[in-house]
A = this chain, B = another copy of it.
Amino acid sequence: MEQAGCVNICNLTSTLPVIPYQKLTDLQFLSKGGFGTVFKAQHSDWRTTVAIKCLKLDSPVGERERNCLLKEAEVLHKARFNFIIQIFGVCNEPEFFCIITEYLSNGSLDQLLHEKDMYPLLAWPLRLRILYEIALGVNFLHNMTPPLLHHDLKTQNILLDAEFHVKIADFGLSKWRQLSISKSSGSKPPEMGGTVIYMPPEEYEPSKSKRADVKHDMYSYAIIMWEVLSRKIPFEEATNPMQIMFSVLKGNRPDINLETLPFDIPSRDILIDLMTSGWAKNPDDRPSFIKCVIELEPMIRRFDEIEVLEAVLQVK
């Protein structure tokens, strides 16, 4: 399988721009994540800000591994859509191997939701637009041939542009992820446990059938929905990831009472139905993303553009 993913390397350079390292200046550290370090930088020819995500490696990667990674980057390059982060190219130099993407000035959705000092108010029209745009983006990825399953949806991977439109990041990078985990000398990254909240229970035992794969993202999306509607951290009371997993396996899910999800949420009942079917134990009971988009459409149409822009001004 891995071999198959590595063919057609000769096509790569013709479609995925290679950006020379020396064009990237003013590097500023942004974050050290599960599979690499993210910097903000200036492109000296384009005169714009870009983000660069460098694989953290103890030892240099071999040529075959490098080609596999480039192949994945090429897949991202094909996924061009409104709510998907734009990839400008790769930097493929002996010492420096990274993906260059657009820079998103408003950070990630988890900051918007949980930094309440910075964003005391977050109006419903903007929250629902964010949920809608995530659903449109994932629906697009699932409609690609072959379908691109994200499998790492979480609020940290939902980035926000200057007007708080959604840009989904970190899709299709499974080989990058594997490689950086295996290379990181055995020690798991600190936030590793955090990702368990978005993981559907059937994934706890990785030996299960692949059938459920396509519904993995919907489970994560349902958790994100809850997070957006409540502005709380899912399973916050748990003291370790194992507790969360046991609780979820027993059928527990985040609270949907009126205290957590206030009654002034527009179309509250429909949203809760969508969310609870999204995190159903049985993957077949979860809706597809197209169904989810169709359910959200009439709610979104009810807001006018000015209402949403005013909500954006409020968080500026």
Q: From A86, which residue of chain B is reached at the shortest CB distance?
A: B80
A172 to B: closest C-beta gap in Å: 15
Expressed in whole angstroms, the Cα–Cα distance for A17 and B11 within the complex equals 15
Cβ contact within 8 Å between B80 and A47: no
**Interface majority SS (helix, strand, loop, mixed), chain A:** helix
Binary interface profile of A, 303-316, with partner B (CB < 8 Å = 1, else 0)? 00110011011001
Binary interface profile of A, 41-52, with partner B (CB < 8 Å = 1, else 0)? 000011110000
Which residues on the B side are within 8 Å of A11 (C-beta)? 11, 14-15
- Cβ of A162 within 8 Å of any chain B Cβ, yes or no, is yes
Q: Which of A48-89 contact B (CB under 8 A)?
A: 48, 77-78, 80-82, 86-88
Expressed in whole angstroms, the Cα–Cα distance for A240 and B174 within the complex equals 61
Q: Which of A270-316 contact B (CB under 8 A)?
A: 290, 293-294, 297, 305-306, 309-310, 312-313, 316
A171 to B: closest C-beta gap in Å: 16
Cβ contact within 8 Å between A102 and B86: no
Option from B8, B45, B139, B297 in Cβ contact (under 8 Å) with A143: B45
Cβ contact within 8 Å between B306 and A309: no
Tally of this chain's copies: 2
Which residues on the B side are within 8 Å of A86 (C-beta)? 80-82
Option from B17, B47, B313 in Cβ contact (under 8 Å) with A293: B47
Q: Which of A7-33 contact B (CB under 8 A)?
A: 8, 11, 14-15, 17
Can you list 12 residue pairs at the A/B interface with Cβ under 8 Å? A11-B11, A46-B81, A47-B290, A80-B80, A80-B88, A81-B88, A82-B86, A162-B163, A306-B316, A309-B312, A309-B316, A310-B313
Expressed in whole angstroms, the Cα–Cα distance for A297 and B310 within the complex equals 27
- Cβ of A136 within 8 Å of any chain B Cβ, yes or no, is yes
- Cβ of A140 within 8 Å of any chain B Cβ, yes or no, is yes
Q: Which of A100-140 contact B (CB under 8 A)?
A: 102, 136, 139-140
Number of interface residues of A (CB under 8 A): 35
Which residues on the B side are within 8 Å of A163 (C-beta)? 162-163, 309
Residue among A82, A102, A162, A309 with max Cβ neighbours from chain B (10 Å): A82
Expressed in whole angstroms, the Cα–Cα distance for A45 and B306 within the complex equals 28
Which residues on the B side are within 8 Å of A77 (C-beta)? 15, 80
Option from B15, B45, B297, B313 in Cβ contact (under 8 Å) with A313: B313
A260 to B: closest C-beta gap in Å: 30
Which residues on the B side are within 8 Å of A46 (C-beta)? 81, 136, 139-140, 143
Expressed in whole angstroms, the Cα–Cα distance for A163 and B308 within the complex equals 11
Which residues on the B side are within 8 Å of A140 (C-beta)? 46
Expressed in whole angstroms, the Cα–Cα distance for A163 and B306 within the complex equals 11
Whether A306 touches B297, Cβ cut-off 8 Å, given contacts A78-B15, A88-B81, is: no
